[in-house]
Structure 1
Amino acid sequence: MSDERPLHQDEPLEGDIGPASGGPDTATRDPATRDPARTGLGASYDFGSPKDRRAALRRYEAEREERRRRVDAASGRIAAMLVAALLAFMTFDSARTAVQARERGDEWLFPPGILAAVCGIAFLIVIARVLRRGQTQVK
């Protein structure tokens, strides 16, 4: 014989994370007629008066809006860093190409020189906006 006990239908399985069984009589009863105090659901779902429910919904919406603002701010900073990195690379690459073209005697000002200047100006604008917005963000 083994030391294992036979499992009953109302006993939780090993590793079960669901609510504990209220006993054999609650498994057969209608869920609508169960005692809320025994299941522990009464206090968590009852917000009281309609005024309390509205206040709870307002708090929930305010918390949700604050989380959305934080996520938007973080994603905006990440996007600005990626754009700044791309513009810095484009400025460097175009300036290097312009210097090499000038050394070879090719046209260096129009395609690579202008592109380096435009990317450099855009890079400075992005950095200035990030620095200006960083001071005014809500913490």
Structure 2
Amino acid sequence: MRKAPSGDDEPLDGDIGPAAGAATRTAPGTAAAPAVSEAAEAAQALRRFDAEREERRRATNAVAGRIAVAVAALFLAFLIYDSAATAVRAHSRGDAWIYPPAVVGGACAAGLAALLTWGWRRRRLGM
């Protein structure tokens, strides 16, 4: 059971740490630590929270970017495969195979090469 507070700010039974007035009393030869206001502590906690949230946001965006690049690369690879298959079928039938399918496949291959080069350079630079 707790005792009623006394006038000399002695710790109560079960209290952890110094009494409320103990911060003003210091041992001889030691300097008192500068008091940090609650507002400053709250502002520092908010800055730390904002920095942690920004770090989590950047990590999440990095993962989402990698997934988007992988999906785009897979899509371009599928279009290259489909264009090549269409070009081979058209060539075997004697139809025009260079203009529609081969050109589309070449454009997709160039896009895939550009995407992979961009991703490789970005990863190498640590962005």
Please report the TM-score for the alignment, with normalisation by the length of structure 2. 0.68
**2:104 equivalent in structure 1:** 115
Residue by residue, what CA displacement relative to the aligned partner does 1:54-93 show, whole Å, maximum 9, x if unpaired?
A: 1110000000000000000000000100000000010011
**2:68 equivalent in structure 1:** 79
Match of 2:96, SS state, is coil
Match of 1:81, SS state, is helix
Match of 1:50, SS state, is helix
Query: Structure 2: 5+ residue runs without aligned partners?
Result: 1-13, 15-35
CA positional deviation for 1:48: 5.5
Match of 2:117, SS state, is helix
Alignment root-mean-square deviation, CA:
2.0
Q: Distance in 2 between matches of 1:125 and 1:74?
A: 20
Structure 1 runs of 4+ aligned residues shifted over 3 Å read none
- What one-letter code is carried by the residue in structure 1 that aligns with 2:125? T
Please report the TM-score for the alignment, with normalisation by the length of structure 1. 0.63
Q: Residue 90 of structure 1: which of 74, 79, 86 is its match?
A: 79
Match of 1:106, SS state, is coil
Q: Distance in 1 between matches of 2:61 and 2:121?
A: 17
- What one-letter code is carried by the residue in structure 2 that aligns with 1:62? A
Q: Distance in 1 between matches of 2:42 and 2:116?
A: 45
**1:40 equivalent in structure 2:** none
User: Which residues of 2 match residues 1-139 of structure 1 at below 5 A?
Assistant: 49-137=38-126
Percent identity (aligned)? 40
Match of 1:107, SS state, is coil
Query: Structure 1: 5+ residue runs without aligned partners?
Result: 1-36, 38-46
Aligned pairs, number: 94
